Structure formats: structure tokens, C-alpha cells
Amino acid sequence: MEKVKIEKSDKHFLIEVSPKENCSPDFLRDWALDHRPFLEEQIGKYGGVLFKGFSIKKGSDFEKVALAIDENLTDKHVFDGAVGTKRTRFVSDVASPDLKDVPMPLSMHNEDSFVSKVPPKIMFCSLTSAPWGGESLVADCRKVYQSLPQEVQKKYRLQKLKSMLVLEDKLFLANSLIPKNIELIEAFAKGEGAHTVKRISYDMTRFLFTVPATLTLNGEEDVWFNTLHQSVFYNKCVDIWMAYKMLGGIKNRLRSLSLIGSSLSKDFITFLKKGSDPLKMHDCHLENGEKITAWDRFQMGLAFWKNTAVLPLKDGEFFVLDNRLVSHGRMPYRGRRVMVSAMTKPQPIA
């Protein structure tokens, strides 16, 4: 323990680990192997650990440390809509490094919380930080739950909702999982906890999952746990407004108004073309029949932003999260940004 510094930051809620002398990936791998129970305890208590000042330069450096923290990593991410490039067996790009201008923030989410199995741990490492923006965002889902008005807590606590997912075959093929064969897709989906599988076109399948709105961890802690807040267009506007507000300055406020304007006009054009009312399109209910209202979702979005901390990672810095306790997102960015991730094998949520 004496070979590293372990500190609390006043800027975020994760615990920080940094080197005293040796910053090599081999040193960190050995230290992590020797201190696994300690790391587990810290992740459970604070929601995650941020590693600063170590010399992690490539995917293979990150993989060796990630495996030392938890050897149970997965080499597949089947329900991810944006399949990242694999750098090593267990480490993939979060997004294409060719993206150079990403003005929209990425909404807060717990990885895969819209399906029946989630990775218990997720790790992100910045190999090249963006010249402008691109900071990681984290929110403690215990605090998010506590920030919600009591009537929302009461309505959603331990309730279940239906989550629909439509996937193209190429996502499965990209994961080297299954060929284009409905029997195999059905068998696979059953194994992943989907209760309805329907082929809706020559290369698309619809899956239906039942997922919890909240979780109670360790028999006592209530955790807000789903992505309902990001499923409607006006919450996208909340995300844009809050992210650019965080950046400060009049220019950023004006930029956010212009992005909100273009986002709303795109939705309006979809409405005119398809005749689908965006409010009705996202009409959905809890399993007990209660309607999930726009106002509820708005309050969920605000509760996330109220508890969101910014992690401006330098090159080579990384963090490990308990994916049920902490949700993650990303600020808008410009320029080349290389972020990689590793996660543990998905487990049933509840």
C-alpha cells in the first residue's frame, strides 16, 4: 500500500490511486494483484477507483492491468449498438478514433441496463485525450435515487419495465457470435434473458427484455438503474443544455441553443414525414400498468445532472466502476480522442 498514494478528491466521488515512484504498467499489475480485496472494497464503497499518473500507453498495457483488477473480463459486447474496434482480446475502442467533432454529450447510463445481464464492472482508459472536451462523466446512482422527488421514488422503486431492442444481424456477426439463423438467434437471446424474440425484416430482430427500474443492493441501498431518462427527445435537450452549461460562458450557451434547435427540428421533420408524435411514440408503462410520464423522465434527467461529476482524464489515466452503483457518460468533444474500455462478463441484474 505504501508504494502508491490513495486519496479522496474534492472534484469527484471516486477514490484515487497514483504512483509514488514506479509508474509502469507491470508495477501496477503486480500491485493490483496484491491488493484485489482492497480494490473490491473501495469500488463497493465509493463506486469506483480512478488511477492517475501511471504510464498506460496502449491497449495491451491497459489489458494487463484490467485483468489484474478482475480476471473475469469479457471478450464480447453483443448488445452494444456501436461495436468498437478490438485492440486486444479484452480491450476495445469506445468509439471510432476517426470521429473528430462530436457536439452531442453522451447521456448518463449504466452499461447494458436495457437488457437482462450487465457487466458488474466497467473500466475506461484514455489513450489520447481530446484537445477540447470529451471528459468522462460519472454519477453515483445511490445519490441519483436520493435526489428524485419522493413520489417518483415511490412509483418506481423495485418496479419492472419492458425494454425493446432492435438489432441488425451484422452486430452479431461482428461479435463472431452467431450466423444469420433465426433458431440460433432465438437460442442465444433466451440465454441472454430475452423473453420475446421476433424477426422483423430480412436482417433485423426485435428482442424484449424485462428490466428493473431501480435496484436494492446489499439488501439496503436503493439505486436508480435504467436509461428511461434518455429515451425521449426533450431529455436529449436537457443533456445538451446541462453539458454546455457545465462548460460555462456565453458562447457555449449559444451553441447549446443552436444544437437544441437543430435536434428539435430533426424530430419535427420525422414527425411530419412519418406522422408519429414523438411524445406518443415513447408512450410506455411499467409492468404494473402505471404510465411513465414525460415529467417523471424530465426529473430523472435532472437528478442525474445534479449528481454528475466530471473526470478530465489525462493520457494513460483510467477508472474502474461498479456498473450498478455508478453510471457514466461523456462531454462533447473536438479533435482526435482515443478511449478504450474493458468490462467483466455480464451477469443477471437481479
Contact residues toward Fe ion (CB under 5 A) are 111
For residue 117, the SS3 value is strand
The distance of closest approach from Cβ of residue 121 to Fe ion in the complex, given in angstroms and rounded to an integer, is 13
Distance from C-alpha of 57 to C-alpha of 59, rounded to nearest angstrom: 7
User: Which residue in the shown chain puts its C-beta closest to Fe ion?
Assistant: 111
Q: Three cell numbers at 9?
A: 478528491
Give the residue with the Cβ less far from Fe ion, 108 or 260: 108
The distance of closest approach from Cβ of residue 341 to Fe ion in the complex, given in angstroms and rounded to an integer, is 7
Give the residue with the Cβ less far from Fe ion, 63 or 111: 111
Give the residue with the Cβ less far from Fe ion, 111 or 296: 111
The distance of closest approach from Cβ of residue 310 to Fe ion in the complex, given in angstroms and rounded to an integer, is 16
Decide: 292 and 284 in contact? Cβ < 8 Å.
yes
The sign of the dihedral angle between the CA atoms of 31, 32, 35, 41 is positive
The distance of closest approach from Cβ of residue 109 to Fe ion in the complex, given in angstroms and rounded to an integer, is 6
Give the residue with the Cβ less far from Fe ion, 111 or 239: 111
Residue 185 identity:
I
Give the residue with the Cβ less far from Fe ion, 111 or 192: 111
The distance of closest approach from Cβ of residue 213 to Fe ion in the complex, given in angstroms and rounded to an integer, is 19
The sign of the dihedral angle between the CA atoms of 4, 5, 8, 13 is negative
Decide: 43 and 320 in contact? Cβ < 8 Å.
yes
Q: Three cell numbers at 341?
A: 474500455
CA of 320: how far to CAs of 69, 82, 200, 213, in Å? 9, 21, 38, 23
